[in-house]
Chains A and B, each alone.
Chain A
């Protein structure tokens, strides 16, 4: 718990108004940051002495109707402190673009491709931003809430 408090204070002190809100949810510290500061914050966290050297997950949530619509969530983990931290960052529907962190963590490459595939969020500076799961020619982004539930896009002609 003391790590939660400490890292919140460090981030607020370092990034000031770029940190929008801090809270503790389900035992983990959750830090909401500005979109343009996300790469900077994560780089700062990765370096020593913070040492959040492991990116556990990078994903996206679609909050249809809210502004901003999308929220990118980064889960980072410190092996030396045995501590998890969650960084969130809102992305608007009109300009679904955010800085890539694939330069910091190699595994972010495919995680970002997955988010691009499912939600259509572009990552600036990503070395190879292609669809990961769906095939070429697939239209739309299937995990967006406004993707039609029964829409099918077969790759080959179906029988009957």
Chain B
């Protein structure tokens, strides 16, 4: 109790007697802001949706990680949560939803069906949504446990933090 953790060698945070200041890089700071303000759009088509609901609601509550805001408009979302089986008939809808989202945007494929088609190796089902849209994080499982979904969100946050940020307004000179 009460122990002050030693400042890491390359930490971005410094504390002085006058108050605090942060030394950081724009790329890192923007990534930090983006990873804690993910608005997600749930594209739920199948039974994995139950696991998504339990992960999103109070018991597991992925709002703890800053992914809590559910939007039902793709135009106001950053993360497309594809949960469940995608058929060839539905593929154009998924593609349209993805194209309506504004940059920067990320995609999570949740569950075996979205990742690879799962057990449905047949005429109707798309064998993995990466055949239609690019995917950032894949969640295996049939269905995945809520812990797996939480882990995937942490992985995505890690990716957002460390990726090269997409800055269309070009405030960083190369």
- Which residues of A approach B to under 8 Å, CB–CB? 133-135, 142, 147, 149, 151-156, 158-160
Q: Which of B121-141 contact A (CB under 8 A)?
A: 122-124, 126-127, 130-134
Nearest CB of chain A from residue B80's CB, rounded to whole Å: 15
A134 and B89 in contact, given A153-B123, A154-B126, A159-B132 (Cβ under 8 angstroms)? yes
Residue in B124, B126, B130, B134 whose beta carbon sits within 8 Å of that of A142 in the complex? B124
Q: CB-nearest residue of chain A relative to B127? A: A152
Asked if A155 and B88 sit within 8 Å, CB to CB, the answer is yes
Looking at chain B's contact residues, the main secondary structure is loop
CB distance from B83 to the nearest CB of A (A): 20
Extra pairs beyond A134-B89, A158-B126 (16, CB < 8 Å): A133-B124, A134-B124, A135-B89, A142-B124, A147-B123, A149-B122, A151-B123, A152-B123, A153-B123, A154-B91, A155-B92, A156-B91, A156-B92, A156-B95, A159-B131, A159-B134
By a CB distance below 8 angstroms, the chain B residues around A134 are: 89, 124
A149 to B95, CA, bound (A): 26
Q: Which residues B41-90 have CB closer than 8 A to chain A?
A: 88-89
Complex contacts, B133 vs chain A, CB 8 Å = 159
User: What string of 1s and 0s marks CB contacts (under 8 Å) between B104-132 and chain A?
Assistant: 00000000000000000011101100111
Shortest CB–CB separation between residue A48 and chain B, in angstroms? 42
- Whether A135 contacts B131 by the Cβ 8 Å rule is no
Q: Known A152-B123, A153-B123; judge A159-B130 contact (CB<8 A).
A: yes
Set of chain B residues within 8 Å of A158, measured between Cβ atoms = 126, 131-132
Please tell me if the beta carbons of B88 and A135 are within 8 angstroms of each other in the complex.
Answer: yes
A-B contacts counted at CB < 8 A amount to 38
Q: Which residues on B sit within 8 Å (CB–CB) of A159?
A: 130-134
Q: Give the 4 A-B residue pairs with the shortest CB-CB distance, closest first.
A: A142-B123, A158-B131, A135-B89, A156-B92
Q: Cβ of B123 and Cβ of A160 under 8 Å apart? A: no
**A155 and B131 contacting across the interface, CB-CB below 8 Å:** no
Offer 22 A-B interface pairs, CB within 8 angstroms, sorted by A: A133-B89, A134-B124, A135-B89, A142-B122, A142-B123, A142-B124, A151-B123, A152-B88, A152-B123, A153-B88, A154-B88, A154-B126, A154-B131, A155-B89, A155-B91, A155-B92, A156-B92, A156-B95, A156-B132, A158-B132, A159-B132, A159-B133
Measured CA separation A111–B126 after assembly (Å): 25
Which of B88, B127, B133 counts the most A-chain CB atoms under 10 A from its CB? B88
